[in-house]
Amino acid sequence: MGWGNIYKRRLKVFTLAFLIYLDYKALQHREKLTKKSKRDGLWEKAHERNARRVLKLIVELEGLWVKLGQYLSTRADVLPESYIRLLKQLQDSLPPRDLKEVCSTIEKQLGQSMNDLFKNFVSVPLATASIAQVHRATLHDGQEVVVKVQHEGIKTIILEDLKNAKSIVDWIAWAEPQYDFNPMIDEWIREAPKELDFDHEAENTRKVSTNLDYRREGLDKKPEHVEVLIPKVIQSTEKVLVLEYMDGIRLNDSRALEELGVDKQKIVEEITRAYAHQIYVDGFFNGDPHPGNFLVSREPPHRPILLDFGLTKLLSSSVKHALAKMFLAAAEGDHVALLSAFAEMGLKLRLDMPEQAMEITNVFFRATTPASEALETVKSLSEQREKNMKIIQEKMKLNKKEVKRFNPIDAFPGDVVIFSRVLNLLRGLSSSMNVRINYLSVMRPFAESVLKSDMNHGPSSNPKWVYDGPVHSDVEAKLRRFLVELGNANRILGIQVCAYKDGQVIIDTAAGVLGKYDPRPVQPDSLFPVFSVSKGVTAGMTHWLVDKGKLKLDEAVANIWPGFGANGKDQIKVNHILNHTAGLHNALAGIAEEDPMLFCDWDECLKRIALVAPETEPGREQLYHYLSYGWLCGGIIEHASGKSFQDILEEAFVRPLNVEGELYIGIPPGVESRLATLTLDLSDLNMSIPKPSIIPSSFTFDKISALIPLSNTLNVRRAILPAANGHFSARAVARYYAALVDGGVVPPRHSSSSLPPLGSHPHRPTFPSKKTSTSRKDRRKKDSSGPTTPNSDLYIRIPESEDTIDEVETKIFDAPKEKLHDAFLGIGDYKDLTFTNGRFGLGFKLVRTVDGSVIGFGGSGLGGSTAYCDINNRFAIGVTLNKLSFGALTGEIIRFICSELDLPVPEDYAVSRIVIN
């Protein structure tokens, strides 16, 4: 191709692109002056007019533009019918090349004459495409074959067309910045030239055929097996490919498919499954699934025949895992896993909007729609995009011009480009065949299989299953061996255990992986959802305010919290809240039925809790306030302090205990990569567990288990739920209880060899400021001597130098240890503030032995995470895990440690439970 022809092609392409752009822009203005009844007609004519222009130029230019036309012809889900109808001609019916040219290429490439090569060669091609055309032939041994012959000079044309396409994309990105397709064209420039080497295609064909061979022994028994046919490779060179002939019907031959009784739904589902296998299981997939590359076998059972493996993509193991994780995160609404998958595949966003990221991903994996619904689909997607851009505009405070030029994606990985193209082509294929494919159900087994098969859950296959941290004691060494046994028995997914004895760390162990579909190892600073273990920290915050003189335990809540006394709550006191005797045990339980996401609205829940009516007289009956406890205590804390709940948590415990980044109630943005993902251990959860008398009527297994999946969503994890939304590391919560058992004295830091170091995270949570009530303003004036910002210190910082750690004793409470313990337990001077022989003290669950003796206090969470301290033995422990059960595993670990240390075992963990495997 001479330079003259090159410039002519370029001029034609740019001229048409500009003409179509102006045509649609003019129509947008003309539409405003046209009656609504005639607008659809105007658009239909414009689509028909421009589709014909595009088709005419593509047929004239051939090359890469045919590929583009083929792609567009499959997008019946989003493109007007005119484009689909006209561009379908490009799938296999381009004007054929001269037979002399074809024969010349074959003889040059194979080194023999046509007569020596073939017994018979059909001169009329079966199909003519952008790069090559295919002829049917018979070898001298009688085998029926097809011969794929590359067009002469096509390589030069393709490479030039790629440059032109790049220029057009650059122009579009300049004119309409929100439509920056540079990552897509850059990846295409890298991959498309590979199609020009048929030796490469032959090798790809063999590889995919081996990967998808359903006839291999045992493969057909797996849910991820597929039943597709792929022609065998007979011979190949750079420009000629000889393949086994397979008698099939083209997907666009609707009449033939109907005559043979082919189930189109089943065919497209099987094609989709074949691609799911290639992407998620093999990590090696065909990047060009347009209708011309598929046939349906004539002989029953009718199976899809996959053709043309010139454009393929090889994924690294990490990207393959990330794509599988992204898919499953979308399927389960797991924002944390989604953002983690984005990070692992190199997709970077310019702003923190997890809800919109999930929404877009769900659109990406949405079920397909028939071509007849294309207009509605486009309209819906356009409306959703406008809605998202408005949210972005508000969040980023952009004006209209700025939002038009704003691209929320900072980096788009090349590996994802071909993957996206394949999914869009499959979607278009489904639409053109008028079938509906639910990607989330069809592809899920494949995404799950790759993560399950490649994850080393158990220590037997993973020597680094236990985190390689320092061993603090013989007990810890024995515990690690015990955890390995439990891990090999598939009892543990991910776990952390930390314990203090006599003010020193004796155990700090992490093991397993962060989630069922997250193979990253658990580390000491990983954050686990601990549910009601959060209550013990919330209770401590309330006592901290009492200790600072901001609150009294026997004070009426209505005196602290204006409006709380409504509907008969004027007699409820702070001690009633802490002791679970306020009569509000079922308060706000109906939110789950109304809208579970209301849990995330802190101010709304505080308003509602202030208006509910008690069911029993305060102090008369102890019933577990499993949800309402958090808002009740949280409201008291905020109104008594004049500060936000988060500020008090930081001020009272996080900074003085030096557990920055490892103790949150409501996580801030930026810690998602350290979050463990919860999964259910149904073997234990399905057991029939007796319901204690203190459990209220609204607390049922069905209701609570229905909420558990929500705990993996990012909006819930970011919410302030002081009763059930703690995200702690075991070493942070164990350190908290180690301080409480010693009356608030902060224990020495962990060993410097513990990596990452405790408190080493520089991140500070930043949350939206709350509106301050009049009473809070008054209290702020009254308490003006104290700090009013979260960065003010009410305590002595632990010195940074390890040499001086033991020289300074830091306390988080001023009261004597014995008085504090009496307050926590509700005994001595505080006996009258608690329910006689109840299960709770003032905010903490009482830890009893089998004989009924109270040995300490703490709190356990739904699913097995726990933390408590043994006062007499100066022992404190925290256990966090992500495989939820009713505590059978936790009990075994607690009993093991107590036995090794010769400590009394808490009643809740003294009896071994039967676990059904």
Per-residue pLDDT for 799 more than 50? Answer: no
Closest of 563, 482, 572, 314 to residue 879, by C-alpha: 482
| Range ranked top by mean pLDDT from 154-158, 625-629, 689-693, 698-702 | 625-629
- Does residue 756 have a cis peptide bond before it, meaning omega lies within 30 degrees of 0? yes
CA 895 to CA 912: how far, in whole Å? Answer: 9
Catalytic entry in 92, 161, 288, 870? 288
CA 592 to CA 704: how far, in whole Å? Answer: 9
701 by DSSP, 3-state: which? helix
**What fold characterizes domain 455-557+626-757+809-916?**
Beta-lactamase (3.40.710)
Which pLDDT score is estimated for 219? 46
Domain boundaries, the chain: 1-92+153-193, 198-453, 455-557+626-757+809-916
Which pLDDT score is estimated for 454? 55
pLDDT in tens, 443-471: 888 988 887 765 555 788 788 899 999 99
What does the block give as tokens for 640? 């008594």
Would the CA dihedral through 483, 485, 488, 491 be positive or negative?
A: negative
Asked if residue 885 lies in contact with residue 679, where contact means CB atoms within 8 angstroms, the answer is: no
What backbone torsions phi and psi does residue 238 show, to the nearest 5 degrees?
A: -60, -35
Where is 297: in which H helix or E strand?
strand 294-297
Where is 249: in which H helix or E strand?
strand 248-250
Which pLDDT score is estimated for 806? 45
pLDDT band at 783 (very low <50, low <70, confident <90, very high): very low
132 by DSSP, 3-state: which? strand
Asked if residue 413 lies in contact with residue 346, where contact means CB atoms within 8 angstroms, the answer is: yes
What's the angle, vertex CA 817, arms to CA 816 and CA 820, rounded to 5? Answer: 90
What b-and-e string marks burial along 77-110, b requiring 16 or more CB atoms within 10 Å of the CB? Answer: bbbbbbbbebbbebbbebebbeeeebbebbeebb
Q: Which of 1-15, 109-123, 553-567 has the lowest mean pLDDT?
A: 1-15
pTM summary value:
0.70
CA 727 to CA 625: how far, in whole Å? Answer: 20
Q: How far is CA 532 from CA 41, 251, 604, 826, in A?
A: 62, 57, 21, 19
pLDDT in tens, 842-859: 999 999 999 999 999 999
pLDDT in tens, 271-300: 999 999 999 999 999 887 877 789 999 998
Which pLDDT score is estimated for 915? 32
In this prediction, residues 556-566 reach a mean pLDDT of 95
Which pLDDT score is estimated for 805? 40
CA 683 to CA 901: how far, in whole Å? Answer: 30
Per-residue pLDDT for 141 more than 90? Answer: yes
In this prediction, residues 473-493 reach a mean pLDDT of 94
| Range ranked top by mean pLDDT from 392-396, 697-701, 785-789, 892-896 | 892-896
495 by DSSP, 3-state: which? strand
CA 47 to CA 303: how far, in whole Å? Answer: 36
Q: What is the DSSP letter of 347?
A: -
CA 750 to CA 618: how far, in whole Å? Answer: 43
In this prediction, residues 887-904 reach a mean pLDDT of 93
pLDDT in tens, 56-85: 888 887 777 777 777 666 655 556 778 878
Q: What share of the chain is helix, strand, coil (3-state, %, to 5)?
A: 50, 15, 40
What Rg value do the Cα atoms of the chain yield, rounded? 34
Closest of 671, 664, 670 to residue 646, by C-alpha: 664
pLDDT band at 866 (very low <50, low <70, confident <90, very high): very high
Per-residue pLDDT for 787 more than 50? Answer: no
Which pLDDT score is estimated for 170? 79
pLDDT in tens, 19-62: 888 888 888 888 777 777 777 788 888 888 988 998 888 888 77
- Does residue 301 have a cis peptide bond before it, meaning omega lies within 30 degrees of 0? yes
CA 312 to CA 289: how far, in whole Å? Answer: 10
Per-residue pLDDT for 224 more than 50? Answer: yes
What does the block give as tokens for 685? 């959860």
- Beta strand 132-138 pairing with 144-150: antiparallel
Which of residues 188 and 628 earns the better pLDDT score?
628
Q: Which of 238-247, 321-330, 754-763 has the lowest mean pLDDT?
A: 754-763
Cα 510 from chain centroid?
A: 23
Intra-chain end-to-end CA distance of the chain, in Å? 70
Where is 339: in which H helix or E strand?
helix 335-345
Asked if residue 372 lies in contact with residue 705, where contact means CB atoms within 8 angstroms, the answer is: no
Within 769-917, strands assigned E span 845-848, 854-860, 866-870, 875-881, 883-884
Closest of 714, 729, 715, 561 to residue 659, by C-alpha: 729
Per-residue pLDDT for 671 more than 60? Answer: yes
Cα 707 from chain centroid?
A: 18
**Residues 6+ positions from 75 with CB-CB distance below 8 Å:** 84, 424, 427, 428, 431
Q: Which of 76-90, 389-403, 656-670 has the lowest mean pLDDT?
A: 389-403
Which pLDDT score is estimated for 493? 92
138 by DSSP, 3-state: which? strand
Largest pairwise CA distance in the chain:
109
What's the angle, vertex CA 369, arms to CA 367 and CA 372, rounded to 5? Answer: 170
Q: What is the DSSP letter of 352?
A: -
Where is 234: in which H helix or E strand?
strand 233-236
Per-residue pLDDT for 807 more than 50? Answer: no
Within 452-526, strands assigned E span 494-501, 504-515, 518-521
Which of residues 487 and 353 earns the better pLDDT score?
487
Which pLDDT score is estimated for 692? 62
Percent of the chain clearing pLDDT 70 (strictly above): 79
Query: Is 288 labeled as catalytic in the residue annotation?
Result: yes
Place of tokens 């004049």: 642
In this prediction, residues 200-205 reach a mean pLDDT of 95
Mean pLDDT of the chain: 82
Q: Which of 192-206, 265-279, 297-311, 362-376 has the lowest mean pLDDT?
A: 362-376
Three-class SS of 538-549: HHHHHHHHHHCC
Q: How far is CA 888 from CA 238, 287, 684, 766, 908, in A?
A: 63, 48, 8, 37, 10
Q: Which of 177-186, 345-354, 623-632 has the lowest mean pLDDT?
A: 177-186
pLDDT band at 916 (very low <50, low <70, confident <90, very high): very low
Which pLDDT score is estimated for 703? 63
What type of residue is 696?
Answer: P
Which pLDDT score is estimated for 512? 94
In this prediction, residues 709-737 reach a mean pLDDT of 89
Which pLDDT score is estimated for 325? 86
Cα 137 from chain centroid?
A: 51
In this prediction, residues 762-781 reach a mean pLDDT of 42
What does the block give as tokens for 623? 């019933």
Where is 624: in which H helix or E strand?
none
Would the CA dihedral through 890, 893, 896, 901 be positive or negative?
A: negative
Would the CA dihedral through 730, 733, 736, 737 be positive or negative?
A: negative
pLDDT in tens, 410-444: 666 767 777 877 887 788 788 878 888 888 888 88
CA 287 to CA 269: how far, in whole Å? Answer: 17
Beta bridge partners of 854: 848
pLDDT in tens, 673-714: 789 988 876 665 444 344 566 777 776 666 666 666 677 777
Per-residue pLDDT for 896 more than 80? Answer: yes
Per-residue pLDDT for 775 more than 50? Answer: no
Which pLDDT score is estimated for 763? 53
Beta bridge partners of 409: 349
Beta bridge partners of 858: 845, 868
